Amino acid sequence: MGTKGERRPIRRRRVLKSAGASATFAILAGCTSNKGNGGGNKGNGGTKTSSGEYPNLSGKEVHFLTDETAEGIQTVLKNFVADFKSTTGASVNFETMGIGGTAQNRLSQLIQAGSPPEAFFNHDHSGSATLVSQELLAPMTEGMQAITDQFGTPPDGTRIKSQGGEDYFIPTTAFPGVMWYRKDIVGDVPRQMTWEKFAQVVEENDNKQGMRSFFALRGKDTCTALTTAIWGSSNGGYIAERVDGEVKAALTADGNMEKWTKVLEFTKRIGQHSPRNADAGCAEAIQAIPTETASISGYVGARPKRQTINQKKPFADKLVATHWPRPKGKEEQVTYGTPKGLVRFNTDNNKASKAFWNFFIKEGYYRKAVLAQTPAAWPVFPGITETDQYDQLKNKLMDKGWTQRDLEVMQWVTAHSKAPAADMTPPNPSIGVFYGALDLAELRYAVELDGMTPEAALKKYNQQIQEGFDKSSGA
Amino acid sequence: MQSEKNTSGPAEWLWEAKNDTYELLSQRRVLIAIMVLPVTLLLGFILFLPILWAITAGFFNIHALNPEWKFVGVENYVSILSDPEFWTTLSRSVVFAISSVALQLVAGTGIALLINKKFRFISLIRGVVLLPYLIPTIVVAYMGLWIGNSQWGLINIALLESGFIQNPISFFGNESLAMMSVIVVNSWKFSIFVSIMVLARLQGIPDGYYEAARMSGANAYQRFRDITLPNLKSIILIVLLLRGIWMFNKFDVIWILTRGGPGDATTTAPIYAYQAAFSSLSLGRAAAVSTFLFGLLVVVASIYFVVFKPAEEVRVQ
């Protein structure tokens, strides 16, 4: 855990940092900053706006990464970068990467080159837990406090804190596990169902209007792994535990194996009412409802609903959100698709990166960026949904086919879920390794389609998960 | 002589300098240096340095997200060579490479023989047939993924609608079908590479050979066996080597289609290496896998050159 805070900066090998270039750049940056739209008052030491005071960062460069490519969020980030540059005089190298594994690969390149970026927008929680364990991140406690003051406290399961109490990750949005239903086929169902009730709904509604009642995921894919983790956590099952400070696979741990066995028996039972889709992953789960393949589909987030609306399906407003089913009497938090958030790296440019995120938070860009992702992902800080801007967004969504219930479910599930890494404290630094290997997806396939018993599969994949942890011991 | 040069004027001097330059450039060693050095330097940067980096990295424990390297000697090699999963993935790579090359060779040669005929619109048909090779591999893979999808793929829809099957076939999600399906999608594009090579050679075979064979009473099969095939031997040997190496190292198509699944049915050695680097975040281990595969290919290629002597085959032509 990164308890050393800012004491261990990584040396950078930037070739372009010659004194002459810096001086020239400082002059240029200083000139351009006067033309900015920051609207602040510049003193010798920095700039004051109505929301905060920022240092003069002329001659400093912030390398800023994101893998958010959607137009709305890109607009917010570009405006923010322009505003920050004009207010502080800093230059910003704004780099957008492709989605998927590209961000991880790029980060690895930069870190290996000894030149990590200063800031990353919407880095995933699991990967951030790994970065903290490698002491690569700098604390964000001040920023976290500023957001908490504005928007309340985020769920504990979305935070990454050191033993010293420092926050290293400021969550923005999460992808809550939600079950989407065609109300016009399945009928009204309660917001929270037990496993038994859910199984009954699935069994009674199979093959209605030529479609299966449930869409199960078994392909070797991230969404299969995530939804399997959600099913597991709904019964209190966990994946790993800390033994003498080391992360160990725990699918076969005392008490846990019984929970997972029941999970796999249950998913196999309801999976009989799904298309026999051994190749289904995220894309198929999103499209299952709009293509009328199934009437119920679970997903991490709201894409099934958005796709149904975007494809102008007549049943879009009949597609309703419900909490992920839990066994009777179980109150455990279920797992998210990993939350995303702000991180800053521990470099020799810490002053600039700190000012960068402070500016983002205090000047209103945090709220704008979060709402630009809503409802694809849901805001983690509860107060965001109490703002006027959220109300405007909500009205637009309800005009398009969203229901009050959909929004309430998204909000409730977000507040009552936990990140995959938050199974333990401090968060599991190896959870990204585990999800990358897709072992849970293989486990699901083995039991539901390959005829393996839950017990045998749990033993096999527990060993495989442990081998993955062992191989990833790293430096 | 010296005095003559001094009195000859600038035009003469320029003329001589030009001649001297031409003479210098005409020297075999200088010409070779000019032609080879830039390419060697370029290759050095984009090929040899990364190879050296990978070989070196294989002896270190390197977390992908930590710049500190810890020397561990041959520990990474011992670890991968004692891992049964590695040997399984290696055997899958061999199966994938041999099957892909065989399919590409047969299909590619067949297509080349077909489009070598002379009939109406042949130029247009040749253009259309060769088109898949121009499509980026990633696009080919995604097309394959959607055509073969079990829920809404074209093949399944066609088979279901025509009544040939009652339940959709999961080409990429069924353990017994996945490897074959991946090989077929992969070969769709790369068979065309073989076609291009074979077609070029076919067009170099003099028509007189076939006319003489016909006059001697040889049938189509005999003409293929005794004229076409021997003439294609050199191309086939080159294609075998190139496609074999490329298919053994194939990553993109398999990753897009199956991510190595279902289970680990299509996890080949390159995917094993990728997972070591970016799932397990162990760059040293991934580098050791890559170095081992590189060494293995060098050995196999050397044996190939000794046994088949492709250079001699080419010279015979």
Q: Which of residues 299-358 of A touch B (CB under 8 A)?
A: none
Say whether A326 sits in a helix, a strand or coil.
Answer: strand
Whether A217 has its CB under 8 Å from any CB of chain B: the answer is no
Quote ipTM for the complex. Answer: 0.76
> Mind telling me how many Å the CA of A475 is from chain B's nearest CA?
5
Is B159 exposed, middle or buried (CB count within 10 Å of its CB: 0-12, 13-18, 19+)? middle
Whether A472 and B280 lie within 8 Å, measured CB to CB: yes
For residue B257, the chain A residue with the least C-alpha distance is A279
Which pLDDT band, with edges at 50, 70 and 90, does A99 fall under?
low
Establish whether the linkage from the previous residue to A426 is cis, with ω within 30° of 0: yes
Whole-number Å distance between alpha carbons of B189 and B195: 10
Q: Which of residues 20-39 of B touch A (CB under 8 A)?
A: none
Q: What is the pLDDT of residues A23-79, one digit of tens each?
A: 343 334 433 343 334 445 555 567 777 777 888 999 999 999 999 999 999 999 999
Contacts of B294 (CB under 8 A, 6+ apart): B51, B54
Q: What is the pLDDT of residues A303-350, one digit of tens each?
A: 999 999 999 999 999 999 999 999 998 877 788 778 999 999 999 999
Instruction: Select from B69, B79, B282 the Cβ nearest to the Cβ of A472.
Output: B282
Q: How far is CA A21 from the centre of its chain?
A: 39
* pLDDT, position A435: 80
Q: What is the DSSP string of A161-229?
A: B-TTS-B--EEEEEE-EEEEEEHHHH----SS-BHHHHHHHHHHTTTBTTBEEEE---SSSHHHHHHHH
Whether A276 and B68 lie within 8 Å, measured CB to CB: no
Whether A291 and B151 lie within 8 Å, measured CB to CB: yes
Instruction: Select from A131, A276, A471 the Cβ nearest to the Cβ of B280.
Output: A471
> Mind telling me how many Å the CA of A387 is from chain B's nearest CA?
38
Amino acid sitting at position A24: T
Q: Label the pairing between strands A294-300 and A212-215.
A: parallel
Whether B172 has its CB under 8 Å from any CB of chain A: the answer is yes
> Mind telling me how many Å the CA of A468 is from chain B's nearest CA?
6
Place of tokens 């595969």: B293
Instruction: Select from A108, A277, A442 the Cβ nearest to the Cβ of B151.
Output: A277
Instruction: Select from B68, B260, B285 the Cβ nearest to the Cβ of A471.
Output: B285
First to last CA, chain A: 15
* pLDDT, position A42: 54
The pLDDT of residue B173 is above 60: yes
| pTM, to two decimals | 0.81
Is A334 exposed, middle or buried (CB count within 10 Å of its CB: 0-12, 13-18, 19+)? buried
Whether A436 has its CB under 8 Å from any CB of chain B: the answer is yes
Say whether A344 sits in a helix, a strand or coil.
Answer: strand
Q: Among candidates A16, A452, A42, A458, which has minimal Cα distance to A260?
A: A458
* pLDDT, position A163: 78
Question: How many other CB atoms sit within 10 Å of the CB of residue B167?
Answer: 11
Instruction: Select from B64, B167, B259 the Cβ nearest to the Cβ of A438.
Output: B259
Whether A220 has its CB under 8 Å from any CB of chain B: the answer is yes
Q: How far is CA A453 from the centre of its chain?
A: 32
For residue A134, the chain B residue with the least C-alpha distance is B66
| Between A402 and B123, the higher pLDDT residue | A402
The pLDDT of residue A382 is above 50: yes
Contacts of B174 in chain A (CB under 8 A): 278
Whole-number Å distance between alpha carbons of A57 and B271: 44
Place of tokens 């049938």: B219
Whether A108 and B171 lie within 8 Å, measured CB to CB: no
Whole-number Å distance between alpha carbons of B105 and B236: 8
Percent residues over pLDDT 90 in chain A: 66
Distances in Å between the alpha carbon of A201 and those of A119, A212, A315, B306?
Answer: 47, 12, 19, 68
